[in-house]
Amino acid sequence: MATVNKNRAYHGTLTAATVDTVNLSRVYGRVQVLNRGGANEIYWTTDGTAPTVGGDNCWVVPSQVGASDIRANSQAQSNTCVVKLISTGTPTYSVLGVDETDIDL
């Protein structure tokens, strides 16, 4: 399992069936996960629980180059921003903290 600490963004590659943990150093209202490689789906959480492939209570980014998912940071009230990801393969991905000012309405 890889654990990294970053300020706003992290770009990595998953190891099959292994959880990666990305700790963002400040709280963001939303988090975006981008599937840069597209080879496999990416399952992810922001509530502190470990995701599982196809698991309940996990969000998923489809296996498509450039696919992404953006969700509210469910830990924002506790002043943390922890994103955990898993896949059956080795897709490249990006995790981005998103401020409200970053979103075009």
For the cut 50, the answer to whether the pLDDT of residue 1 exceeds it is: yes
C-alpha span between 24 and 83 (Å, rounded) = 8
If one compares 1 and 6, the residue with the highest pLDDT of the two is 6
Q: What is the model's pLDDT at position 35?
A: 98
Tens digit of each residue's pLDDT (9 = 90 or more) over 18-40: 999 999 988 888 999 999 999 99
For the cut 90, the answer to whether the pLDDT of residue 74 exceeds it is: no
| pLDDT, averaged across the chain | 90
Global pTM value: 0.90
Mean pLDDT calculated for residue range 68-87? 87
2, 68, 82 from 23: Cα distances, Å = 11, 19, 5
All domains in the chain, ordered by first residue? 2-99 (2.60.120)
Query: Hey, which residues does 6 pair with through a beta bridge?
Result: 24
